[in-house]
Chain A
Amino acid sequence: MTIFPRSIEEWYKPLTREEKIWIALAFIVALTLAGTTIAWHFIDRSHQVPSIAVEADPREFLSKAMEFSRTYSGKVVPEGTDIYLAAVRFTWIPSELILKAGVTYRIWVSSPDVLHGLSIIGPGDVVYNVMVMPGMAYVIHVKFDKPGEYEIRCNEFCGIGHANMIGRIRVVG
């Protein structure tokens, strides 16, 4: 009886065949899940959680992003240029990026104020989400294969204007 005290002889029963099979299977499933994510590091190097992050002074980072924004406003970012993207309450700096399809870019993303999140949402159900941390710059490598229009949205609640943090990435051929 599950709700009454019992002596050990009453509840310590051998496991049935089904129970033994299920214990083994449950652990095998967990091992499969864990094994797959570890194996993925070797299967596909180019679809991974970015692993590089460096400490970044909030003010310095913001001025870098603003400078980048001024330089490349309305222009295609040339290959080999580092992109600085700042999440600021309640906007992205720069709010629009024009990138070339098929080119790998390095994006530094950080925030001068509070915690934010970077969502890249694009055509064909493309979705990427990472956190944007104040004081820490995340280094993301990204290569858009095809031209198209992607949205960047904030995915971590950052205040009243959180929903308005929408920027754009235009990928041109």
Chain B
Amino acid sequence: MVLPGLFRTCPVTGLRVHLPTQRLIIANFVMALLSIVIGGIAAIFVGFSRGSTILVKDPEQYYIWLTAHGFNMLIFWILWFEVALVYFVSTVLLNTSIYSSRIGWLAFTLMLIGWLVVNVTVFTGNATVMFTAYPPMAAHPLFYLGYILFALGVFVALILFFLTLYKARVEGTYKGHLPLVTWGAAIAAIIGLTVVTHGAVALLTTFVWRLGLVESIDVMFYRWFFWGLGHNAQYVNVTAMVAVWYALLTLATGYTAARFVNERYARIAFALYTLFVVPGIGHHILVDPGFSVYLKQASGSVGSHFLSVPSMLHALALLGGLEATLRAAGHTGLFGWLAKIPWRNPGVAGLLLSMLLFGIGGVIAQPQTTLQPNLLFHNTMWVPAHFHLTVVGGTTLAFMALSYYVVPLLTLRRLISTRLATIQVYTAFIGILILAISMAILGWLGSPRRTLVLPELMKPEWWGPATLLVVGAAIWIASGALWVVLMLFTVLAGRRSTDPGELTSGLISAIIVKEGAKTSKMGSLVIVIIFLVVIMLALYFYSFLRLGFQPPFW
């Protein structure tokens, strides 16, 4: 039994929030914020040095910044945020308290120690090995220990999440089935378990090797299991991001659009992720010696290509849900409803732009995840183009957009400016798009990733895109800084309020629907077919053609 006094009721949503759980959520969120700030500062040094060497000319410094950038962005920011997210969706949305705050703080402490150790070893130059840390290149043993502790903390947090789901079920704190968003987060947590188990195999063996307990380490063994961590972790992001998309669609339209989302279809799509994530690991070892072509083909094509199916399905669920809502409000025509989308709403804009960027990232991933065309793209700048679109353009932008809704409710303070929030969303979109396009061009021209190409080592045709990259990075970093400022000012100086209208003013675009109106999702179907079938296949087949016209190589 939890004492009723430990709960507060949200004035806007009517949801009950358990205060000790809220402290835990905020602590994890603050760490996420801190990680993205560190990662963002590192991004300045990385983005402004690659090709242009405006900031860093010393490779040693550059690779430290690059390692710090990768860790804080791909591992820390994402996983801290996700722990906060799973706590939120399993407690607040289910009208319950966390299974045990003590376990929550244990997970937090483990993650915090791991976070500190990794960041300290990286910034002191003792672990300039990138976040992949491929042996036999070696970092300080403490670095692996930090990595392991952080992963262990995440594991404890995920178990706590499942225990909380169990507790809510047996105590009957909610009626019916899990909300879609919680369900999606549960899928993310299941994938998270595969992340931690693969990571444990890869990192524990490396740690033991670094301690000198075993003599040698198998690089290929490490690479397979590491990507069980590195790749699957990105699918935790993807799944959590899609769950956030549904939440955004719901919140930004004042719950209206949620009625037009087919939840059964959405749940099928979520479930499909779990099937294809582990078989998809192999797309990272497509051009490695030592793995058989059969394994590469099975894992690279069957696994990875089918892994895109659930994301494709969600695209129609969300866009179609919005389209059906607007049609129910009386907007007709195959694409007429597009003009009626509340584009100035930060939540709606964040949702759609995040979906668009994620979609482009998915489209350009297809040739690189395929056995033979991967020869053209492996380890070139094409790869960061892909994951900046998916992780930054998709996940980070979605999380940022969601924060405009959740942070005012958690702190009971008004968002400092909705207009600036909208500007932040659009500048983020433009910045990351320019950044990714320039990276993709560099990759197409064969420029390797993770390389500080000093001016004297540049190929002449790389200068153009490398310069454009700096422009994209500058816009994105400015936008990211604006987000941090908006968050800080809201939390510290936002006007206190408990009035629902005030707390959500400018954030909700109510769409007035006619009951029983005829709806359809045909416009969305056409849009997803153009983007995810026509354009995707065109790029895919073009990559094969390009390969076929190159000098023979086998």
Residues of A within 8 A of B (CB): 1-8, 10-16, 18-19, 21-23, 25-27, 29-30, 32-34, 36-38, 40, 44-51, 53, 104, 113-115, 117, 119, 121-122, 125-138, 140-146, 151, 153-164, 166
Residue of B nearest to A33 (CB): B305
Contact partners of A53 in chain B: CB under 8 A: 289-290
Q: Are A161 and B312 in contact (CB under 8 A)?
A: no
Q: Are B379 and A1 in contact (CB under 8 A)?
A: no
Interface size on B, residues (CB 8 A): 105
Q: Are B287 and A131 in contact (CB under 8 A)?
A: yes
Complex: A160 Cα to B544 Cα, angstroms: 34
With beta carbons under 8 angstroms apart, the residue of A27, A154, A155, A164 that contacts B378 is: A155
The proximity string for B residues 427-470 relative to A, scoring 1 for CB distances below 8 Å and 0 otherwise, is: 00000000000000000111011111110010100000000000
Q: Are B544 and A11 in contact (CB under 8 A)?
A: no
Complex: A27 Cα to B320 Cα, angstroms: 19
| Complex A-B, nearest 3 residue pairs according to Cβ-Cβ distance, in ascending order | A53-B289, A127-B446, A46-B552
Contact A121 B258, CB 8 Å, known A5-B176, A46-B554, A127-B446? no
Complex: A51 Cα to B463 Cα, angstroms: 35
With beta carbons under 8 angstroms apart, the residue of B181, B452, B544 that contacts A163 is: B452
Residue of A nearest to B134 (CB): A115
Complex: A142 Cα to B250 Cα, angstroms: 55
Complex: A158 Cα to B522 Cα, angstroms: 51
Q: Tell yes or no: B499 within 8 A of A by CB.
A: no
Contact partners of A1 in chain B: CB under 8 A: 179, 250, 255, 258-259
Q: Are A30 and B219 in contact (CB under 8 A)?
A: no
Q: Are A33 and B371 in contact (CB under 8 A)?
A: no
Given A33-B305, A46-B553, 5 further pairs, Cβ under 8 A? A16-B521, A53-B289, A121-B446, A127-B550, A144-B551
Residue of A nearest to B320 (CB): A18
Contact partners of A36 in chain B: CB under 8 A: 370, 540-541, 544
Q: Are A7 and B305 in contact (CB under 8 A)?
A: no
Contact A5 B550, CB 8 Å, known A129-B378, A131-B287, A138-B289? no
Contact partners of B60 in chain A: CB under 8 A: 160
Residue of B nearest to A171 (CB): B551
Minimum C-beta distance from B449 to chain A (A): 7
Contact A2 B537, CB 8 Å, known A36-B544, A114-B137, A137-B289? no
Minimum C-beta distance from A58 to chain B (A): 10
Q: Are A3 and B93 in contact (CB under 8 A)?
A: yes
Which B218-269 residues have a C-beta within 8 angstroms of A?
219-220, 246-247, 249-251, 255, 258-259, 261-268
Complex: A94 Cα to B136 Cα, angstroms: 23
Contact A26 B137, CB 8 Å, known A7-B175, A141-B554? no
The proximity string for B residues 281-311 relative to A, scoring 1 for CB distances below 8 Å and 0 otherwise, is: 0000111111011001100111001101100
Contact partners of B287 in chain A: CB under 8 A: 49, 129-131
Complex: A37 Cα to B282 Cα, angstroms: 14
Q: Are A133 and B219 in contact (CB under 8 A)?
A: yes
The proximity string for B residues 480-519 relative to A, scoring 1 for CB distances below 8 Å and 0 otherwise, is: 0000000000000000000000000000000000000000
Which B318-358 residues have a C-beta within 8 angstroms of A?
320
Contact partners of B449 in chain A: CB under 8 A: 155
Contact partners of B292 in chain A: CB under 8 A: 51
Residue of A nearest to B301 (CB): A34
A-B contact pairs, 24 of them (CB 8 A): A2-B258, A5-B179, A15-B264, A16-B262, A16-B320, A26-B309, A26-B313, A26-B532, A27-B306, A29-B309, A30-B305, A30-B306, A34-B302, A46-B554, A50-B554, A53-B289, A117-B379, A127-B376, A128-B376, A130-B287, A131-B379, A157-B450, A159-B128, A163-B451
Spot the interface stretch: B71-79, B106-114, B523-531.
B523-531
With beta carbons under 8 angstroms apart, the residue of B179, B293, B306, B533 that contacts A6 is: B179
Minimum C-beta distance from A86 to chain B (A): 14
Contact partners of B259 in chain A: CB under 8 A: 1
Complex: A49 Cα to B374 Cα, angstroms: 9
Q: Are A157 and B130 in contact (CB under 8 A)?
A: yes
Contact partners of B59 in chain A: CB under 8 A: 160-163
Contact partners of B93 in chain A: CB under 8 A: 3-5
Q: Are A133 and B525 in contact (CB under 8 A)?
A: no
With beta carbons under 8 angstroms apart, the residue of B219, B261, B265 that contacts A15 is: B265
Q: Are B553 and A141 in contact (CB under 8 A)?
A: yes
Minimum C-beta distance from A117 to chain B (A): 5
Contact A2 B220, CB 8 Å, known A129-B378, A163-B454? no
Q: Are B551 and A117 in contact (CB under 8 A)?
A: no
Complex: A38 Cα to B297 Cα, angstroms: 7
Q: Are A19 and B521 in contact (CB under 8 A)?
A: yes
Q: Are B179 and A4 in contact (CB under 8 A)?
A: yes
Complex: A51 Cα to B293 Cα, angstroms: 6
Complex: A158 Cα to B451 Cα, angstroms: 10
